[in-house]
Chain A
Amino acid sequence: MEDDLLTQLGRSLVFGSLDDARLMAQTSAPPPVQILPEANVIKIGGQSFIDRGRVAVFPLIDEIVENLGRHKMIIGTGAGTRARHAYSVGLNLGLPTGVLSVLGTFVSMQNARMLNYLLAKHGIPFIEPAQFAQLPHYLAERGAVVFFGMPPYVYWHANPAVGRIPPHRTDTGSYLVSEVFGTRSMIFVKDEKGLYTADPKKDRNAKFIGKITLTELEQLDLRDLVVERSVLDMMRNATHRRSIQIINGLEPRNLTRALDGEHVGTIITAE
């Protein structure tokens, strides 16, 4: 290889070790481009939202349609109660995390297909990971796409430190889409206003938290959280997506207001 074809960094990468800490630090610059800076990623909860059926989903679909032309939307889906059933069956039979990840993918795919049919008359496609190369085109043409929120790790899903449930599920998969494309927002649509000090469905004394940083959240050491812990871990190392908002999609206009940049739920920021 001709050395003069390579930049200084190129030379270091080709001839050095990719596991050298000093060399890794040099690969931060130049800063990454924002591939889709006008797009928003919206993750629609499985258990919290889609499992509620028509009463929850139809008004949200209407609100998504109202926002076509106003905002570009990359819509990811959660898995929900059927994933919990599949995980229970799999855990009982001793199946590894990677196989549970495959099962969770199937459920979030079902939810993506259902939303896709409800949005079909507006020309909005459902794309699988292999079709992400077409995402910019669909977004430019139709203003929205639907994808399944599970990251496509399947058998290669890393184990959690505790237990066997795949740690990187649909919140994480959706979040990573927002970070890699450098989108303008990451909105999690759930059935609660946002983050509470405990699960508000089980604890009446749970207190709402409107805005919090990762460090403050870590200090609280909550037993339960409204988003996957790995989203928070990844936010620490993120370049573009340094904040997320969790909103109650059951309340009309919340999604629209969040897309407009308003603070309607819990905002978690990296610092």
Chain B
Amino acid sequence: MPGVTVATSLLEKGISEEESPILSELPGSKDGRHHVQSMLMRESLLDKDVQKSTETPVFKMLPEAHVIKIGGRSVMDAGRAIVYPVVEALAQCLKTKKLIIGTGGGVRSRHVLSIGIDLGLPTGVLAQLALADSLGNAHILGTLLAPFGVVAIPPEIFGHLLPLFIASAPGVIFNGDPPYSLWEHLPPSGRIPPHRSDAGSLLLAECFGCKSLTLVKDVDGLYDRDPRHHPGVGLIREIDSSDLKRRNFESLPFERVLLDLLENARQLRSFQIVNGRRPEQIVAALGGEHVGTIVYGNRKNN
């Protein structure tokens, strides 16, 4: 990189930037700021045209790994009768596939959120508190998957060491939450942190360029009304994000922010919701079959 070379040679020769023929020749370099030569030098990163110029193809770090999020309340809190068959299904998948397994926080998260709200704590603090519950569930699931070489990884090192873990183990478990904590975004309504374990799993799959994202819940997929309260409603087999937004369902079986995140995704085109009460769906979904609801993202500005 030319900028690096310039800076390094300046340091080696002990020449100040003011004396440097290379930097002083640059147009506008005398604005009092010490620049390093680069495509974005002196640019406002807030300029819309500059932003557009940065739209280029993205490198995939872990294209063979699958991300699968195991619901907190829907699976982990449902007890042995539900969790053990899910563990068996995951174990079967681990024989042929690399899995990155995220977990939700479930009932304990909801409890701490309700106490936190009652005590007047802001969204960022609620997000920080809730991290502990999904991490607990990651360790619970990690214990059950230990015989298959899969354990929960501490969040502090998880992202940085993920490629190493994926190369050396059949899979890894993390708390599905993104590390937003005190820096959690403010929801448009109320105080519940909008980026929870579904969002963390999607963002991870997108950043690492993973093969698929599967959300394991306690329903077969998306219905136009909650099937637990309205028996007989029809399953929506596939839908795109703009259609979903337009229909504005009062309740969704996944975090609402996923629609925006999926629309801005460059690598991940869809995710599938499957029912953890029917563990064969997990195996089928990771095998590329369409068994639950597939939600596609509509890329805007493209």
Spell out A's residues near B (CB within 8 Å).
1, 6-7, 9-10, 13-14, 17-28, 30-33, 35, 47-48, 51-53, 55-56, 81-82, 84-85, 87-89, 91-99, 129-130, 132, 151-165, 169, 173, 176-177, 179-180, 182, 191, 199, 201, 223-229, 234, 236-240
Contacts and interface: CB of A to CB of B under 8 A. Distances in A.
Interface of B: 1, 3-4, 31-59, 61, 107, 110-111, 113-115, 117-125, 156, 159, 162, 178-192, 195-196, 200, 203-204, 206-209, 226, 250-256, 260-261, 263-267, 300-301
Contacts of A236: 188
B182 A177 contact: yes
A88 B38 contact: yes
A164 B54 contact: yes
Contact of A32 (B50, B54, B122, B156): B122
B205 to A, nearest CB: 11
Which secondary structure dominates where chain B touches chain A?
Answer: loop
A132 B54 contact: no
A52 B32 contact: yes
Contacts of B59: 93-96
Nearest to B228: A17
A88 B43 CA distance: 11
Nearest to B260: A158
28 contacts: A1-B107, A9-B114, A14-B110, A14-B114, A19-B255, A19-B256, A20-B250, A21-B189, A22-B250, A24-B189, A24-B192, A30-B120, A32-B123, A47-B42, A156-B180, A156-B203, A163-B50, A164-B56, A179-B124, A182-B122, A191-B33, A199-B44, A223-B49, A224-B47, A225-B44, A228-B46, A229-B46, A234-B186
A135 B181 CA distance: 15
Most chain A Cβ neighbours within 10 Å, of B33, B250, B301: B33
Contacts of B37: 85
